Amino acid sequence: MEKILYLAHTEADGSLGKAALETLSAALELAGQLAGGEFAVGLIGADVQAAADRIAGCGAGAFLGVNGDEFSVSRYSTDAAAAAALVREAEATLVLAPATSRFARTLPGVSQRLGGRIDTQVTGLQAANGGPWVERWYYRQRMAATLTRSQRPWFLLIAAGTFAPWDGGAGSADVKAVEVEQPPTRTRVIGIEAASSDAQTIRPDADLLLVAGAGWTKKQPDGQSHLEEAEQSILGFIEATQSSLGSSKSLVDQAGEGQRVLPFMSHLHQVGQTGATPRHRKGLATCCHGEEPHVVGWRFIGERRAINLDAGCGWAQGKADVVYVADAFEVMERVNALLKQS
Ligand SMILES: Cc1cc2nc3c(=O)[nH]c(=O)nc-3n(C[C@H](O)[C@H](O)[C@H](O)COP(=O)(O)OP(=O)(O)OC[C@H]3O[C@@H](n4cnc5c(N)ncnc54)[C@H](O)[C@@H]3O)c2cc1C
């Protein structure tokens, strides 16, 4: 019989983040399929009571918590000590946790300490032949594998955006406090400096991804390039819709090649084989040719549309649901005007 531990850390305000609630859905789904096992919740934070109450109705057999100011911040030594203590207390054989940067950094080490194994960025779960199986992607999302392991504890980091956030009832949870001796620390967290919401244009939770390609900086039919208009169009749309901004490789490489650039674009925006593989419900590619090394990064984008002057561009070769053969400058100007009116 498996003993499943759902492991989460609280956010700065004591709540559970979206990725944590998604992982709770995943853990409950697997527990339901592996009927007969035990299911426990383990929480880490300054004070986990509010987070435990929020998910009190999830049907867990036990709620365990590591509380304390030193456990409220992301720091390897304290997070690893807290997670290891919770796994030991629950005698967990399967540990499901969200693939947040905090856990992605810590849990591989915890798995090593406890003699377990870990699989990261898990995108699917199922019970088969009496045991758990997971799905994850390899080779930059080109191959999907379904695999299982016999080693325990088996840690599974669940990729964000692959399960619906749990939305069950709140209540009053009886949390058992698990004491952890604070390990020696060299790192003192004195605060978090986040980019302003306008400067931060990569928004993984946004409904829509807008991709800008190198065409925005190229000479247009009038023989001129129009970088200022490009900047206004792209940023105007991103600001009005709070979409996430992506880029082709050619556009972000231009800075290094000494060409005129769009200053708000960095390599972090790059989507594709050597870039990111974001998950958004919809995507709109503008002035981007739709070559395979770029489009492979669109694997998890639900509905794809593209605006290109070239009716023979890559998007038109079966890679997009809709291709608008049009001038993206003109289309986006009109779209932004409509957005202003609404
Ligand atoms: C090993 C390898 C890895 C790679 N990894 C990546 C990756 O991760 N991500 C990535 O993006 N690329 C990657 N590439 C590069 C990729 O093959 C393409 O070169 C790149 O995606 C092209 O970028 P682009 O479409 O923006 O530019 P271009 O190919 O220059 O296309 C510009 C497009 O803009 C259109 N256009 C111009 N003006 C307008 C207008 N006014 N309105 C509408 N359309 C207009 C043009 O018709 C053209 O189709 C990789 C390549 C290799 C070899």
Residue 188, in any domain of the structure: no
- Residues 268-286: tens digit of each pLDDT: 999 999 999 999 999 999 9
Residue of 265, 267, 289, 330 with the most ligand 1 atoms within 8 Å of its CB, for mutation: 289
Asked if residue 200 is part of any domain, the answer here is: no
**262 and 304 share one domain:** yes
Could you tell me if 22 and 141 lie in one domain?
yes
**Atom 7 in ligand 1: which residue has the minimum CA distance?**
272
Residue 176's Cα: distance from chain center in Å?
30
CATH of residue 311's domain is 3.40.50.1220
Same domain, 54 and 160: yes
Same domain for 142 and 8: yes
* Lowest mean pLDDT across 192-201, 241-250, 260-269: 192-201
Q: Please indicate, yes or no, whether residues 128 and 274 belong to a single structural domain of this protein.
A: no
Pocket test for ligand 1, best of 219, 309, 329 (most atoms within 8 A of CB): 309
Q: Which residues of 323-340 are buried (b: 16+ CB within 10 A; e: fewer)?
A: beeebbbeebbebbeeee
- Asked if the structure places residue 112 within a domain, the reply is yes
The mean predicted confidence, pLDDT, of the chain is 95
- Ligand 1 neighbour 314 (Cβ under 6 A): no
| Cα 94 to ligand 1 centroid, rounded to whole Å | 43
Residue 65 has pLDDT above 70, yes or no: yes
The reply to whether 226 and 173 lie within a common domain is no
Q: Indicate if 232 and 290 belong to the same structural domain.
A: yes
Q: How many CA atoms lie within 13 A of 95 on its CB side?
A: 33
Rounded average pLDDT over 76-87: 98
Contacts of 337 (CB under 8 A, 6+ apart): none
Do 158 and 238 sit in the same domain of this protein? Answer: no
CA-nearest of 223, 224, 278, 231 to 251 is: 231
Q: Based on the domain organization, do 94 and 238 belong to the same domain? A: no
Establish if 65 belongs to a structural domain.
Answer: yes
Q: Which helix (H) or strand (E) holds 32?
A: helix 18-33
Q: What pLDDT, in 10s, does the model give residues 288-331?
A: 999 999 999 999 999 999 999 999 999 999 999 999 999 999 99
Cα–ligand 1 centroid distance for 293 (angstroms): 9
Domain count, the chain: 2
* Residue 274, ligand 1, Cβ within 6 A: yes
Domain assignment present for 183? no
Statement to judge: residues 168 and 249 lie in one domain: no
Residue 182 lies in a domain: no
Question: Which among 177, 194, 221 is the end of a domain?
Answer: 177
What single-letter amino acid sits at 195?
Answer: A
| Cα-to-centroid distance, 159 and ligand 1 (Å) | 28
Q: Is 306 in the pocket of ligand 1 (CB under 6 A)?
A: no
In a domain, 243, yes or no: yes
Is the pLDDT at 198 greater than 80? The verdict is: no
pTM, to two decimals: 0.81
Confirm whether 214 is domain-assigned.
yes
pLDDT for residue 258 is more than 70: no
pLDDT value of residue 272: 96
Q: Is the CB of 218 under 6 A from ligand 1?
A: yes
Q: 330 in ligand 1 pocket by Cβ < 6 Å?
A: no
Place of tokens 């009053």: 172
The finding on whether 280 has its CB within 6 A of some atom of ligand 1 is no
Is the bond leading into 204 cis (omega within 30 degrees of zero)? Answer: no
CA of 294 to the centre of ligand 1 (A): 7
Q: Of 137, 160, 177, which marks where a domain is finished? A: 177
Nearest ligand 1 atom to alpha carbon 307: 43
Same domain, 169 and 50: yes
Let me know whether 12 and 139 are in one domain. yes
Which ligand 1 atom lies nearest to the CA of residue 273? 8
CATH number for position 61: 3.40.50.620
Measured in Å, residue 336 CA sits from the centre of ligand 1 at 24
Domain of residue 137: give its range. 3-177
